[in-house]
Structure 1
């Protein structure tokens, strides 16, 4: 499984309603990309408080790298990504992406 982790540092002027609308748009892609297992999104609730401004984010789980690639080229993802960049602090500089191959129980290491 591939875990696609995206952290966003929104511009200070972006309202909670806009952020909620962005995440609602993101979730609309569920069921449209083969191999997309789930999307979880929201605001950090970390008691450690070391987010360094990346207070919002989402995690999308995919069956494999091909499914992640299909998501990346999907027109709904491209539209969402463009909106996200517009609202992120510094544009693309306000977005951090980390893709992790996750070993599931019983799979080879």
Structure 2
């Protein structure tokens, strides 16, 4: 399994409603792509408060690297990615992506 982790520093004028709408579009992709196991998105509620401005994020679990690639190539993902970049502080610089292979046998 591949865990795709995305953290976003949204511009201050982007409302929670706008962010929720973007995350809703993300959830819509799950129904269109086999191999998307789960999607979780939202605002950080960390008691540590060391997000360094990355107050929103999402995690998508994929069955494998091929499914992640299909997601990245999907036209809906490209539109969604454009919205994230347009609404992030500094564009692409306000987005952090981390892909982590998960050995489910070791969990």
Range into which the TM-score falls when normalised by the shorter chain? over 0.9
What TM-score do you get using the length of structure 1 for normalisation? 0.95
Distance 1:73 1:45, change over 3 A: same
**Displacement after TM superposition at 1:105 (Å):** 2.0
* Structure 1 partner of 2:39: 39
Query: What secondary structure, in the 3-state scheme, does the structure 2 residue paired with 1:28 have?
Result: helix
Where does the alignment leave 5 or more consecutive residues of structure 1 unmatched? none
What TM-score do you get using the length of structure 2 for normalisation? 0.97
Distance in structure 2 (CA, Å) of the matches to 1:34 and 1:28: 12
Regions of 4+ moved over 3 Å: none
* Structure 1 partner of 2:86: 86
Where does the alignment leave 5 or more consecutive residues of structure 2 unmatched? none
* Structure 2 partner of 1:6: 6
**Displacement after TM superposition at 1:33 (Å):** 1.0
* Structure 1 partner of 2:52: 52
Query: What secondary structure, in the 3-state scheme, does the structure 1 residue paired with 2:6 have?
Result: strand
* Structure 2 partner of 1:26: 26
More helix by share: 2
* Structure 2 partner of 1:62: 62
* Structure 1 partner of 2:104: 104
